Amino acid sequence: MTEIHLTGRAASPGLAIGPVTVLSAVIASRRVAGDPAHETAALKAAIEAATADLAALVEAEQGDAADILQFQVAMLEDEALAEGAFDAIEEGTAADQAWCSVLDAEIAGYRAAEDEVFRARVADLVDIRDRVLAHLNGADKPAAITGGSIVASEDISPSTFLAADWTRGGAILLAAGSSSSHVAMLARARGAPMVVGLGPLSWEGRPPALALVDGDAGTVIFDPEPETRRQFEQRISAANAARAIIDAGRAEPALTADGRRITVLLNIAAPDDLKGLDPAICDGIGLVRTEFLFEASHGLPDEETQYAVYRRILEWADGRPVTIRTLDAGGDKPVAGLTADGESNPFLGLRGIRLALARPEVFRMQLRALARAAVHGVLKVMLPMVAVPSELERARALLEEEIAALKAKGILCARPPLGIMVEVPAAALCAGDFKAAFYSIGSNDLTQYTMAAARDIGAVADLNDTGNPAVLELIARTVEAGRARGVEVSLCGDAAADTRLTRALLATGLTTLSVSPVAVARLKATIATVSP
């Protein structure tokens, strides 16, 4: 047997070795009743059962994983999805055929979409199709993946991924797939190497027994020769040893090679992201994205819910500063019932602070919850998508009014400093004009607005580069404005965790970077290599 080398696209980094499990869809055949009323009832029951299965999985997950499964539940609950199938049943088509052809048309539309984000959702739709079909046809649920195996498949659904135990190793190899898919996001978060776009995986009836996966290079070797395997195992041992050294430095302060102290803060999307984390790994929290509160409660979490969440985060930080960002809905973060529908370009529309000021009742409630939470630690409040100073001043006026109202009622509260995100080029160019208590650079949006290259369109990914001199110049100007006004400037976009950019970012004068918890150890190790 000769070893087989394949090259695809890297979707999640890391090295893995293990037995190969080939996943293939098995859809049982079904006896058709022929009676439209019976077929309609069968399809409705199957959709309900599939929805209930996914809803049960949502319960068992948190954060991104729960959001991803919730997206599938929402699709199944959308009556418009199955409308065409029910029409076809009325005309005499069997329930499974009707459902399949409607979903296949929908899947084909997503597959052909120009936008990478839509193409990346194909696996979620295929999963919806097959789950309903399995209920209709009485087929068994898809087989669970054994921990530690290398899963080879055409594509894979988030729910199949989430059912496996990735703490035991393993990897994912996909003939198709996308590095922007939900599964790719989950694989990166759980440390499972993944390679996509490998092309047809045809084994002619004899699937390989073992695979070596390189998720950094996007390569795989099936059924390796003993010498190839030995060399690969040596690489895994070396990588594990290097990671252990990096992890050991996680709780140490970040110092450059020439001894400059760099402040490293955390970005979190929900308090659950802090579970099991030692606050000693960071100098505080640089960004709490509060959108999750609004997504989970369909538009309006009440004041008590918000206060409890903010307080929990402050208590975790144990005296370290915590920067909570007010609602940044809109753009790529729609919130049902809150954000505007049908904007021709949501990234340039009513989002961030613009939406907050347009919906003062929602904004005031959040400011009240924040002012009350401020007595439990060192809270800083940050406004997103600010373009002109008057937005900051209008927000400040609302905060003052809410603090006065709380005090009048004898409710304990404090006045947190109010800072701005610098993510619109206008704000970067005129940063000194804002009476902000601090600036935090949102490099994700600042880059897309400076380069006119959306953050979620794969075809322009090369242009969406924070290392471009134009973006670095805007960052340097913001740093200079902060220095002149004597206020802190941090950077909390994804570029802070991109260690290829660490040297360039520190060269702009930045001394504070905010990254997700998984990125802390690597960032600190990289900072230690930077000298002037």
Residues of the shown chain interacting with ligand PEP in the complex, contacts defined by CB under 6 A: 287, 289, 328, 423, 442-445, 492-493
To the nearest 10°, the Cα dihedral for 304, 307, 308, 309? 130
SS3 of 331-359: the string is CCECCCCCCCCCCCCHHHCCCCHHHHHHC
Q: Which is nearer to ligand PEP, 151 or 287 (CB)?
A: 287
Rounded distance between C-alpha atoms, residue 163 and residue 186, angstroms = 12
526 binds, among Mg ion, ligand PEP, none (CB under 5 to 8 A by kind): none
Q: Least CB distance from residue 312 to Mg ion, whole Å? A: 24
Can residue 377 be called a binding residue for Mg ion (CB under 5 A)?
no
67 binds, among ligand PEP, Mg ion, none (CB under 5 to 8 A by kind): none
Q: Which residue has the tokens 């059912």?
A: 163
Q: Which is nearer to ligand PEP, 218 or 493 (CB)?
A: 493
Active site members = 182, 492
CB 133 within 8 A of CB 111: no
Q: Least CB distance from residue 444 to ligand PEP, whole Å? A: 3
Rounded distance between C-alpha atoms, residue 181 and residue 508, angstroms = 33
Cβ-count burial 515-530 (b if 16+ within 10 Å, e if not): bbbebbbbbbbbbbeb
Can residue 116 be called a binding residue for Mg ion (CB under 5 A)?
no
Q: Least CB distance from residue 495 to ligand PEP, whole Å? A: 8
CB 137 within 8 A of CB 29: yes
Can residue 456 be called a binding residue for Mg ion (CB under 5 A)?
no
Q: Which is nearer to ligand PEP, 283 or 456 (CB)?
A: 456
Binding segment (CB under 5 A) for Mg ion, from list 20-28, 101-109, 152-160, 421-429 = 421-429
Q: Least CB distance from residue 52 to ligand PEP, whole Å? A: 32
Can residue 423 be called a binding residue for Mg ion (CB under 5 A)?
yes
Q: Which is nearer to Mg ion, 126 or 350 (CB)?
A: 350
Q: Least CB distance from residue 497 to ligand PEP, whole Å? A: 11
Q: Check residue 422 and report its DSSP letter.
A: E
CB 173 within 8 A of CB 218: no
Can residue 445 be called a binding residue for Mg ion (CB under 5 A)?
yes
Q: Which is nearer to Mg ion, 291 or 423 (CB)?
A: 423
Q: Least CB distance from residue 505 to ligand PEP, whole Å? A: 13
SS3 491: strand
Can residue 169 be called a binding residue for Mg ion (CB under 5 A)?
no
Rounded distance between C-alpha atoms, residue 159 and residue 143, angstroms = 12
188 binds, among ligand PEP, Mg ion, none (CB under 5 to 8 A by kind): none
Would you call 277 exposed, middle or buried from its count of C-beta atoms within 10 A (0-12, 13-18, 19+)?
middle
CB 156 within 8 A of CB 172: yes
493 binds, among Mg ion, ligand PEP, none (CB under 5 to 8 A by kind): ligand PEP
CB 101 within 8 A of CB 83: no
CB 424 within 8 A of CB 445: yes
Q: Least CB distance from residue 273 to Mg ion, whole Å? A: 18
- C-alpha angle 145-150-151 in degrees, rounded to nearest 5: 55
| Binder among 93, 442, 481, 510 for Mg ion (CB under 5 A) | 442
Q: Least CB distance from residue 444 to Mg ion, whole Å? A: 5
Q: Which residues fall within 8 angstroms of residue 132, CB to CB, at 6 or more apart?
A: 43, 46, 47, 50, 76, 99, 103
Binding segment (CB under 5 A) for Mg ion, from list 66-74, 106-114, 313-321, 445-453 = 445-453
Q: Which residue has the tokens 């800083």?
A: 380
Q: Least CB distance from residue 192 to Mg ion, whole Å? A: 28
Q: Which element (helix H / strand E) includes 211?
A: strand 210-214
Nearest CA to 494 out of 191, 286, 246 is that of 286
Rounded distance between C-alpha atoms, residue 63 and residue 158, angstroms = 14
Rounded distance between C-alpha atoms, residue 10 and residue 181, angstroms = 12
HSE at residue 151, side-chain half, CA atoms within 13 A, is: 30
Residues within the interface to Mg ion (CB under 5 A): 423, 442, 445
